[in-house]
Amino acid sequence: MLLDTPICDFGWDAPDFTLKDAHGQRFTMSDQLGKHGLLITFICNHCPYVQRIAARLANDCQQLMAEGINVLAIMSNDYEHHGADSPENMKLFAKKHGFSFPYLIDEDQSVGRAYGAICTPDFFGLNSDGKLQYRGRIDDDPMGSKNNRNPELLNAMHLIAETGKGPKEQLPSIGCSIKWRN
């Protein structure tokens, strides 16, 4: 089911969390907040929207990280009923697309629920105080074509890094629904 995200709730305090990646390494959100902010993205392996932007996401995030903006990706889907999103497949997906950022498992789906994640991809740009400043899409084309794209996510995260504030105008992210447990 195609969904889009709500309007950014500027200044919302992002809840702290600790999650493991598919290799068992723990990451805590508050430890990842740097002086330039943090991008948290909810993604999964099987979503065609994520598959379409995965290489771009890897490149854009590598650029952000080189500029001192940290990145965490979270997979909140119920992978017991959607095996393509299993931890083993997360490892393969991350390797295939060259992810240089942690790709975390939200085993009990509590982080996805606490953040109000709606779809994959769903982007949350936080300033250095952990306050939400961006809730939008990777660019102005939800299917991630390479023609005439406006890099919404990169521009927003650069603005947050420079000013602590996100852009007033934001396009909602569009993607597949998060697969919640019943």
Cα–Cα distance between 7 and 153 in angstroms, integer?
15
Cα angle value 103/105/108 (rounded, 5°): 160
The two tokens of residue 81 are: 């009923």
The two tokens of residue 30 are: 């508050």
The model carries a pTM of 0.94
Which residues partner with 39 through β-bridges?
71, 125
Cα–Cα distance between 157 and 21 in angstroms, integer?
24
Query: Phi then psi for 102, rounded to 5 degrees?
Result: -65, 135
Cα–Cα distance between 89 and 158 in angstroms, integer?
31
Cα–Cα distance between 4 and 110 in angstroms, integer?
20
| Cβ atoms of 17 and 28 closer than 8 Å | yes
Give the tens place of pLDDT for each residue, 105-152: 999 999 999 999 999 999 999 999 999 999 999 987 765 555 556 799
**pLDDT tier at 11 (50, 70, 90 boundaries)?**
very high
Looking at every residue in the chain, the average pLDDT score rounds to 93
Domains of the chain: 2-177 (3.40.30.10)
